[in-house]
Amino acid sequence: MRRERQVTVMQKSNRRNVSKAKKGTLPRLLKTMFGFYPVMLPLTIVCIVVSAAVSTIPSIFMQRVIGIIEMSWQSGDWSAVAHDIISAVLVLVVFYVISLAAGVAFNQMIAIITQGTLNKLRKKMFDGMQNLPIKYFDTHNFGDIMSYYTNDIDALRQMISQSFPQLLNTVIVITGLSFIMLYFSVWMTLVVVFGMVLILFLTKVVGGGSARHFIRQQAAIGKEEGFVQEMMNGQKVVKVFCHEDASKADFDKINEELYSEARAANRYANLLGPVLNNVGNILYVLVAIVGGILLITHVPNVSLSGKLLSLAVVVPFLNMTKQFAGSIGQVSHQINFVVMGLAGADRIFDLIDEAPETDDGYVTLVNAKEENGELVETAEHTGLWAWKHPHGDGTLTYSRLTGDVRLFDVDFSYDGKKTVLHEVSIYAEPGQKVAFVGATGAGKTTITNLINRFYDIADGKIRYDGININKIKKADLRHSLGVVLQDVNLFTGTVMDNIRYGRLDATDEECIAAARLAGAHDFISRLPDGYNTLLAGNGANLSQGQRQLLSIARAAVADPPVMILDEATSSIDTRTEAIVQRGMDALMKGRTVFVIAHRLSTVKNADVIMVLENGRIIERGSHEKLLAEKGKYYQLYTGAFELE
């Protein structure tokens, strides 16, 4: 199925991204976090270092206490033992209090840093996404874009909140223990190093398998979620065609794949912990044996301290061995999260780095009014629009927005290879209704996308009121164009909110007037709460025709001088179409209108009809003129040739 294939492609892409992040991702992530929290982040690192350093101190105090007892045993003088031990314990208590305070502070600050960083990154992603060209969304599927805000952000959260602190803590502990071990005994340190090499080897073998299967598990989860979503959206179709058993079989197959990968991933993960713990235990025993042999054979000790080998050295060394092995084991458990987190950060930065939509325009659209025969800019919505032209000498001139749109020999290609429009010339005078007809893929919608500057032309010119549209700021250009699409998008909110989406400063009265104009007022009045009825799920509680009427009302309240109707009535029944057509006729009055339609009955009253084929205009003229010519339009209208 199409959705399933999209999810599979997305997950394969994610798998490649997770398996290998760019080398510069980690430095950039750290730089970004320091930029967000230039004071708090260093303080957090200091707290982690203090907490980790204190955890290595008990071994030193243990050596000191055992040394005191050993010396007293040999001398037979026990008078100062209690005082010395109590002093050592009190000092240790002070260190532990410091460690506790540092730990509490670090945990509080890392929570703020983690959620704050994710909050700022999500904002950066969304803000940047609003400035991306339409082409980006045409070439990236919905699931892949959503995964930036879910999977990638969550992987980054895990790494920042847990993996980073754990790794830093482990580095400090291992570094501190290494120096203390070398200070006590080089011989036993070599035994620990041998054990660590073995642990790292096992971590690579077992942990690597775990990481591979966890990545595949993520892909399988995404595939299953996509399948379930597809089945829920198409539940009526499933039941109409009695496809329940086949759907269950397909789900069982996908679910079995998820089970297989999850089982393998967790088997590896559950194996790694016991293996490392037992290797640590074996290493503990091995150090004890080697230490005992060294004591019995009186092998000369080699150490940075120059001290003789004794129980005061061997016993603390055993404790350090256990701590050392435990720290390495903790690191091994974080490897998967670090790899996935860096891959997530890599994808997040890729989205942030996407080149925004370029806009070199300088002509803007303003509200205007006439004073003494001249156009004057005003802050009020007057219904009169003007183009504001800044000049190099600092002066400003204004020209009335009339809705004169002309295309001159326009060529266009989506990919720079295959040309989809060839030398298209169109002249739409103010107030004219221009219709485009032709088979799917002929280039009808592409023309309107070029007028909106969703894409830029390869050759030719497009002029709007005599102004090259490249000189008009894109936001102002689009503000002057009202668009009603075949696929209606309604947003969570009230009916009034969805109508006002066309112009946020519109009053309730203006929104109601727009609804009356579109023919939507009657059905809105019958809703439970009228204009305050809450819509959700893209207006799932409304019929397709009602949703389209709201879309037309939304365009009407914007009061644009130019309208683009892209098959706006194709999904509406005949009775509703008559209502909508009356509303659209009122809406189109005095406006330049571009209509795309498969129903030729809706374009009969157009001033000029353009017949497109393979990106070229092959016929143009009024309905009567084209019928009289008995060309392609005549064949389409009489049914001698089907649009599709």
Would you state the torsion angle of the CA atoms of residues 544, 549, 551, 553, taken in this order, to the nearest 10 degrees? -170
Sequence-distant (6+) residues with CB within 8 A of 346 are 17, 21, 22, 25
Q: Are 40 and 52 in contact (CB under 8 A)?
A: no
> Per-residue confidence at 421, pLDDT binned at 50, 70, 90?
very high
What is the pLDDT, as a whole number, of residue 265?
74
Would you state the torsion angle of the CA atoms of residues 443, 447, 453, 457, taken in this order, to the nearest 10 degrees? 70
* Among 158, 206, 171, CA closest to 339: 158
Mean pLDDT value of segment 93-116: 90
CA dist 108 and 110 (Å) reads 6
337 or 36, which is more confident: 36
Mean pLDDT value of segment 117-132: 92
Average pLDDT value over all residues in the chain: 81
Q: Residue 11: is its pLDDT beyond 50?
A: no
Per-residue model confidence as pLDDT tens digits over 237-295? 777 667 788 888 888 988 988 888 888 877 776 776 677 777 777 888 888 888 888 87
* Among 427, 435, 432, 431, CA closest to 410: 427
> Per-residue confidence at 373, pLDDT binned at 50, 70, 90?
confident
> Interior CA angle at 548 toward 546 and 553, to 5°?
95
Mean pLDDT value of segment 559-569: 82
> Per-residue confidence at 642, pLDDT binned at 50, 70, 90?
very low
Mean pLDDT value of segment 569-574: 64
Rg (CA), the chain: 36
616 or 383, which is more confident: 616
> Per-residue confidence at 97, pLDDT binned at 50, 70, 90?
confident
Query: Please, what are the domains in the chain?
Result: 2-12+21-352 (1.20.1560.10), 364-400 (no CATH), 405-638 (3.40.50.300)
CA dist 364 and 389 (Å) reads 7
> Per-residue confidence at 426, pLDDT binned at 50, 70, 90?
very high
What is the pLDDT, as a whole number, of residue 62?
63
> Per-residue confidence at 9, pLDDT binned at 50, 70, 90?
very low
Per-residue model confidence as pLDDT tens digits over 462-517? 999 999 999 999 989 988 888 887 778 888 889 999 999 888 888 999 999 989 88
Helix spans in 131-243 (H): 134-139, 142-147, 153-158, 164-184, 186-202, 208-233, 235-240
Partners of 101 in the beta sheet?
A: none
Mean pLDDT value of segment 197-221: 70
> Per-residue confidence at 125, pLDDT binned at 50, 70, 90?
very high
Q: Residue 3: is its pLDDT beyond 50?
A: no
* Among 636, 643, 243, CA closest to 442: 643
Question: What's the predicted TM-score (pTM) here?
Answer: 0.76
Mean pLDDT value of segment 104-111: 92
271 or 19, which is more confident: 271
Q: Residue 196: is its pLDDT beyond 80?
A: no
Mean pLDDT value of segment 145-167: 86
Mean pLDDT value of segment 308-314: 72
Q: Are 495 and 550 in contact (CB under 8 A)?
A: yes
* Among 425, 338, 351, CA closest to 131: 351
Percent of the chain with pLDDT over 90: 20
What is the pLDDT, as a whole number, of residue 405?
93
Q: Read off the tokens for 151.
A: 């999977």
